[in-house]
Structure 1
Amino acid sequence: MSRKPWDLAFTAAPVEVAALRRVMRLHLGIWGLHHVIDGAQLCVSELASNVITHVGRGTPATLAVSINGTHLRIEVHDPDTRALPTLIDANSDAEAGRGMAIVDAVADRWGVQLYPDRKVTWCELRTGLTSPSGHLEGPGVLRAEALLSLYGAVVWPPRSDLSRMTSARTEAAVVAAITDFLHWLRVHGCDADEVLDRAQTHFEAQIAGAEDQSRQAVR
């Protein structure tokens, strides 16, 4: 899957924060990163609200989102290089700084980069991707890769990096594994065709469920 970086200019205002949350949900749904939507929306809200509170309403700003390695990177750019985000003690009664405390709790890491004309406040969330354009490390995928390693298969790389030789070798290992399971079913008196049909039905139901989640995210 191609997960290309994107950015969106916005004006620091409460109504814009809600719009940014909707856009974030839309893009992460398209990217198949449904499980990080809530955390990403929360971080976007706090980073944008930080600009409203400490830089000022009406400030021109930019939201930039990308994949950094296997992390989701969220950046908010604004023109004030003096108003730096602060992190307060969670037990403090002060109101200022609570937004960054929330980001600190949700994200794996965050920071601030200063440039002559702007500052960039960023945070990164773990996605579970095996590579920037690869699949998610779901339990089923991990179990399959562990099993295929017994057949001498190469751990499946992103499609863009998959050579013909590697593809053929991995697919041969998959065929060998399925064939061995069919032999096991036959030896134990099971109907191999019925099991294959049930597996196909179960697989298609999982794919349909994932597609439904993606459509709901787009709405």
Structure 2
Amino acid sequence: MIYASDCVRRKPWGLSFEAEPCEIAGLRKALRLHLTLWGLPELVESAQLCVTELTSNVIKHVGAGTPATLAVSMSGTRLRIELHDPDARALPTLLSAEGEAESGRGMTLVDAVTDRWGVILRVDSKVVWCELATGLTDQNGHTGGPRVAHAEEYLALYGAARHPRPTVSGRLSAAVAEEAAIDLIADLLHWLRAHGCDPDEALDRAQMHFESELA
């Protein structure tokens, strides 16, 4: 039987940019794209808030146009966001911003939506990082949902029929499960054609359903 419980590949990624207000929208868009591909759409809003605030801190306290790097990865089952900049002196501070205060809210917001955050100081740079809980039980796992649960049931039945011998769980089983999913889609397209249906139209409709549920 094929096990697809840990088949989400979340490779670390990063973007270098100049810390300008106009860059924030692009960073937020890239973050949304990657987290959606990672199967973590529920973290998009909080992660975008963190990136916005961390970038704004660099612009305000280090200077507009400062070269910076956004790095996103998994830290165990947490999502880790890092912002690298070349100033080891301007440190983020958690303030109690009350009332109508226009400043001091940045790290307070980050602190509110994350599990933890901190600063790594280097000789000529610093890294401000934060981590968000994902609800995952394994770094390569997924957060589930009815459709994912149904897909796993179908893949298990399909895999048992196509591959009677059990496969080893882990990275190998993830790759095998991906191939099984592709084979299953191909077989369903053949079934649709054999019954007089249009496979291309079915794919388009499935894609529309998929994208509408991600929105």
Residue 49 (structure 1) aligns with: 56
Q: Quick one: which of 51, 64, 83 aligns to 2:71?
A: 64
Residue 116 (structure 1) aligns with: 123
User: 1: CA distance between counterparts of 2:104 and 2:97?
Assistant: 10
Contact 2:114 2:131 in 1 (8 A): yes
Kindly provide the amino acid, as one letter, of the partner of residue 118 in structure 1. Answer: S
Asked if the contact 1:131–1:158 (Cα under 8 Å) also holds between the matched residues in 2, the reply is no
Residue by residue over 1:51-77, the C-alpha shift from the partner in whole angstroms, topping out at 9 and shown as x without a partner, is 001100000000000011111000000
C-alpha displacement of 1:97: 2.4
Amino acid at match of 1:104: D
Show structure 1 runs of 4+ deviating over 6 A. Answer: 207-210
1:23 aligns with 2:34: no
2:98 corresponds, among 80, 87, 91, to: 91
Structure showing greater radius of gyration is 1
Matching residue of 1:131: 138
Cα gap change, 1:10 to 1:161, in 2 (>3 Å): same
State the shift of 1:161 in Å.
6.9
Report the more deviating stretch, 69-78 or 91-100: 91-100
Q: 3-state DSSP class of the match of 1:41?
A: helix
Q: Within 2, Cα distance between the matches of 1:42 and 1:158?
A: 36
Which among 160, 164, 171 is matched to residue 160 of structure 1? 171
Q: What's the CA shift string for 1:19-55, capped at 9, x where partnerless?
A: 1000000101111101110111111100111100110
Corresponding residue to 2:44 among 24, 37, 41 = 37
Tell me the CA shift for residue 102 of structure 1: 0.6
Q: What's the CA shift for 1:159?
A: 3.7
CA distance in 1, matches of 2:133, 2:169: 18
Gaps of 5+ in 1: 145-156, 163-206
- Residues 74-97 of structure 1: per-residue CA shift (max 9 Å, x gap): 000000000000111143765432
Among all aligned residue pairs of Structure 1 and Structure 2, give the percentage whose two residues are the same amino acid.
Answer: 58
Give SS of 1:45's match: helix
Contact 1:128/1:137 (CA < 8 Å) preserved in 2? no
Q: Give 2:210's aligned residue.
A: 211
Q: 1:9 aligns with which of 9, 16, 28?
A: 16
Return the offset for 1:136: 1.5
- Contact kept? 1:9, 1:61, Cα under 8 Å: yes
User: CA–CA distance in 2 between the matches of 1:97 and 1:82?
Assistant: 18
Q: CA 1:158/1:138 → structure 2, altered by over 3 Å: closer, same or farther?
A: farther
Q: Residue 209 and residue 70 in structure 1: after superposition, are their counterparts in 2 closer, same or farther (change >3 A)?
A: farther
Q: Which has the higher contact order (CA 8 A, sep 6+)?
A: 2
User: Which deviates more from structure 2 when the two are superposed, residues 23-32 or residues 92-101?
Assistant: 92-101
Residues of 1 paired with 2:73 and 2:210: CA distance? 22
Residue identity in the other structure for 2:129: W
**Structure 2 unaligned spans of 5+:** 1-7, 153-167, 174-205
TM-score, length basis structure 2 = 0.66
Q: CA deviation at 1:213?
A: 5.1
Report the TM-score, using the length of structure 1 for normalisation. 0.65
Q: Please, what is the CA RMSD of the aligned residues?
A: 2.8
